[in-house]
């Protein structure tokens, strides 16, 4: 007799990755101490090779997410996601501590990534969580640029001068389509929601040396130039509502649907799966995710994957959440 499988809100072991531009914001945000320094990223949910998320709670504890999806694709992904992506989990969720500027870079679109790397492309969205004074980022060109002008600025090391610059504050959100030149300049903590891809073409890295190797990090100039969308240079902060006890859409496109949810203690917020998994990230407060008779602690820095087959969950408490579905 086959034992029935009970699904539930799944949390995962965080994958902390040191970066030469990282700092200490992740430790403070997650309230833990680490002997390692300069953590730049915390991968929350991933099926990227060698970075597969490992379940941290319940009956599936210590199981890899990709292996669970192979065994229970419809139950976890949902019928609509499985129909579109098969066994391929489509998203990668991470926190990023921008203590020093990241490289100026670009990501390929689906077509180029498939041909070059047999991978998804990498469109992404940034949600700003914490900032220091004058925190800023760069997104797209600030004037009409062609490949020749671009190469001239690259030669003169003035690429940063031809990019749109934005001063940012907590709760700002930006969409970064694949093919958009961009840079996170500091100092800030962000949540990054992206397609499931780890492909980055570095364009300029400020001539700095990697402390581990003593050498400059590799650049990918030709791949970058062939991937940049030179025809688009209009980018703005995303405008969205912040109504309490309501799913406020930040962005809904072919890659992901992302919502801001502020919950006050008087009401219970219901989330319906609608044939897709959900990802819930708590960015502030203390809440619980309730399913059947179980309550799952949900506080700042915690991420849950809600399998599609749960159909409905309830959230109680006071806090702010980013909700994500495919």
Q: Is residue 86 part of a domain?
A: yes
Q: Which residues contact 5 (CB under 8 A, 6 or more apart)?
A: 59, 72, 75
- Four-point Cα dihedral 65, 67, 69, 73, nearest 10: -170
Q: How confident is the model at residue 277 (pLDDT cuts 50, 70, 90)?
A: very high
Cα–Cα dist 256/170, whole Å: 21
When pLDDT is cut at 50, 70 and 90, the band that residue 2 belongs to is very low
- On whether both 194 and 310 belong to a single domain, the answer is no
- Boundary-marking domain end, from 175, 193, 225: 225
Do 215 and 252 share a domain, yes or no?
no
- pLDDT tens-digit series, residues 210-227: 888 999 999 999 999 999
* Tens of pLDDT, residues 12-63: 999 999 999 999 999 999 988 776 789 999 999 999 999 999 999 999 999 9
Residues 135 and 176 occupy one common structural domain = yes
Q: Could you tell me if 180 and 268 lie in one domain?
A: no
CATH number at residue 283: 2.60.120.10
User: Domain ends where: 161, 191, 225?
Assistant: 225
Q: Are residues 136 and 274 in the same domain?
A: no
Exposed, middle or buried: residue 123 (CB in 10 Å: 0-12, 13-18, 19+)?
Answer: buried
The pLDDT of 96-121, averaged and rounded, is 97
243-276: pLDDT as tens digits: 999 999 999 999 999 999 999 877 788 888 888 9
What is the count of structural domains for the chain?
2
pLDDT for position 1: 40
For residue 93, the enclosing domain spans: 15-225
Question: Strand 104-106 and strand 124-141: pairing?
Answer: unpaired
């Amino acid at each position: 007799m086959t034992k029935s499988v009970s699904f539930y809100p799944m949390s995962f072991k965080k994958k902390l990755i040191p970066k030469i531009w990282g700092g200490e914001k992740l430790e403070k945000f997650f309230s833990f101490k680490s002997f390692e320094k300069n953590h730049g990223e915390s991968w929350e949910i991933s099926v990227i090779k060698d970075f597969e998320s490992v379940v941290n709670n319940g009956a599936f504890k210590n199981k890899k997410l990709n292996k669970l999806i192979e065994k229970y694709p419809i139950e976890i992904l949902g019928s609509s996601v499985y129909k579109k992506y098969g066994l391929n989990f489509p998203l990668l969720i991470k926190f990023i501590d921008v203590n020093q500027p990241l490289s100026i870079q670009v990501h390929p679109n689906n077509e180029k990534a498939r041909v070059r790397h047999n991978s998804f492309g990498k469109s992404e969205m940034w949600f700003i969580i914490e900032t220091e004074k004058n925190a800023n980022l760069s997104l797209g060109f600030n004037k009409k640029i062609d490949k020749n002008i671009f190469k001239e600025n690259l030669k003169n090391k003035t690429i940063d001068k031809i990019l749109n610059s934005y001063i940012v504050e907590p709760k700002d959100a930006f969409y970064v389509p694949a093919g958009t030149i961009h840079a996170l300049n500091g100092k800030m903590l962000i949540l990054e929601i992206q397609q499931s891809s780890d492909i980055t073409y570095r364009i300029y890295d400020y001539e700095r040396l990697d402390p581990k190797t003593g050498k400059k990090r590799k650049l990918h100039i030709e791949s970058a130039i062939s991937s940049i969308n030179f025809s688009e240079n209009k980018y703005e902060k995303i405008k969205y509502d912040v109504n309490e006890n309501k799913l406020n859409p930040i962005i809904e496109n072919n890659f992901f649907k992302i919502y801001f949810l502020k919950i006050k203690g008087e009401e219970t917020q219901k989330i319906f799966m609608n044939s897709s998994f959900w990802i819930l990230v708590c960015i502030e407060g203390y809440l619980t995710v309730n399913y059947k008779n179980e309550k799952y602690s949900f506080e700042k820095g915690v991420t849950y994957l809600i399998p599609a087959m749960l159909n409905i969950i309830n959230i109680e408490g006071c806090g702010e959440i980013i909700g994500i579905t495919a």
